[in-house]
Structure 1
Amino acid sequence: MSASPKNLIDFAALNLLRYPAKHAKDLRAWDASDEYLAEFIRTDASVLLINDAFGALHCAVGVNAFHINDSWCSRHAIEINSQQSYTPYSGQALAYGLVKLPKSLSLFEAQLQEVARHLSEPLPLYFSGMQKHVSSGHLEMIKSCCDEVEYLPTQRKARMYAARLRPGQQIATPYLQAVPELNLTLHNAPGVFAEQKIDIGSRFFIEHFDRLPSAETVADVGCGNGLLSLAYHRLHPKSDLHLFDESLAAVESAQLSFAANFPDASRQIQHGDGLASAVADGQTFDLILINPPFHQQNTITTDIALSMFAQAKQCMSANSELWIVANRHLNYQAALKKNFRQIELIAQNAKFVIIKAKR
């Protein structure tokens, strides 16, 4: 089914920006897999874009693009770079699709299932990713959901597959993860961080939750499936919880996990860029909990964590406390000391540190 590549896009000329805006200078808003996918763009037809990281593909397409994307930051970057509204896919008529292969195979499967259930006939798709991030599992997933699968030549270390997605009616379901020591059952949507195991950083953090203050308002930034907030609620059931994550899978997981474990808990769960909405609204919290990520898609970066810390400071009063669990090799203490008046190392092991900061 593969068509002859037609388009060569000069992505450098598009002046694309990553989001968050502050990042290592050597990181770009596109890669060779974007350039490869862009060769198959048809400007006269509506297209589905899955996992367009920063809007490179959307800008190359120009118009008639519909999206599936788990990341709020990616959605925002698409709007910034294209100066157009992000339009989610909800069954619109499509001619073809361009897919950036995600890190999570379960998210990949759920995304294909979401498209397939709206189809009445097979849909041509092109899949690409940098070869160091593409596994045999990606190809097996494509084969399980598609017909006429073709492997196209690798270009500049970017893999490419072409296939036709079959119509189907399967719907992804959450993975249930028991946490017997906390008497909890987590409901993990496909693609959420630590989907099939308890994150060891969170586990270490929770072991020291008896040292946390009893706070009236609590923010859980980068909440994932909500484990930290669930554990805190068990100790302090009267606290007002505010959970934030840029992953839609995380937001859905946290919502399901609270509904299953503590349906009456006072909580708000938001999809967005960390505490950006709280900063804009002038909110403050008595306690802020952060288990920061150090990946954005497949890129290792501390940019998101540093952005979270800066946002947290803006949401703290003089008496507020920020508690962080992080990989010790990342040495966040140095960055925190530049911006917070009081830093205390609460606990550490061979891999993680727990840090308390006051504004």
Structure 2
Amino acid sequence: MYRKIIHIDMDAFYASVEQRDFPQYRGKPLIVGGMPEGRGGVVATASYEARKFGVRSAMPSKTAQRLCPEAIFVFPRFDAYKAVSRHIREIFHYYTDLIEPLSLDEAYLDVTNDKQGIGSAIEIAKQIRAAIKDELQLTASAGVSINKFVAKIASDQNKPDGLTFIGPSKIESFMEELPVAKFYGVGKVTAAKMQGMGLHTGADLKKLSEEEMVRHFGKAGRFYYHIIRGVDNRPVQPHRETKSISVEDTYQQDLTTRAEMLPELETLSSRLAERLQRSGLKGRTITVKFKFHDFTIITRSLSMPELIHTEADLKMAAITILNNAPVDSKKVRLLGIGISNFELPVHKKEDSQLSLF
């Protein structure tokens, strides 16, 4: 028996909440995130009016301002977004308790055996989207399929305010036509590597054996081999524990000195601090990831004596790691920073999901 999986993804979530709550922002290019005059500011979310100019999440705020000079910048209101997320989760629970939140604005739902006895995942997705619109005046896009991977890709096909169903008989043909850059989990560097090998679509990937996929792409190659054939047996995990949070960037020009890497790590630290603020988590272990021009990767970690979460503490740890990392005479094409070894405050342990969704 096939699973019935829904992936719900809110449309331009933070920006949509701001436009809902403040009529003066409606219909205008709105950017939620760091101010362009501040060092290291990045876009958290952009409204669809701003996206028409090429503004995207995680883009430096100064770049966003250059692309869209008329954009309105506002600071995020995470308490408001968390309150909306809790309401959305209540809507989900009317249909199923098998809910796996990925962030404040998206989640997987397993409705194979739905609580209302509706039986149709498509109908449930329609009802959820209608409830979100009626109760919260916001829109959500949904993907419906038999597994998580395909459902997530489907939810992105008709954004905003769309619903896409990819049934069992259509999965392989759909995946064969999909550009490799659209595969969830394939980043810019991996997509570029695939395209450099003449692999532009899922059909191209399908020509490689599992051994060839692993040889070219490491452990991820085995995952790609299966999902291109529509095979993804991962269950929806309603109590998934967050073990780490990280951010990373790939650079168009390689970084060759610590002086060039330092401001980039500071920017990444700012973004990581924002994610930690949203999640309500604090951690002890900071890890910096270096990917070099030849695609080799090293990581270096630092464990702190106290729990940290502030931007200042993250930057200090990142700088310490950078100063001791073996990166001399190296060309760095990607930097990442992450935090792990979490410990929730005592008063949140019994309801930890509220801090994540």
How does the TM-score come out when normalised to structure 1?
0.26
Point out the structure with the larger strand share: 1
Greater RCO (Cα-Cα under 8 Å, separation 6 or more):
2
Task: Answer 1 or 2: which has greater helix percent.
Answer: 2
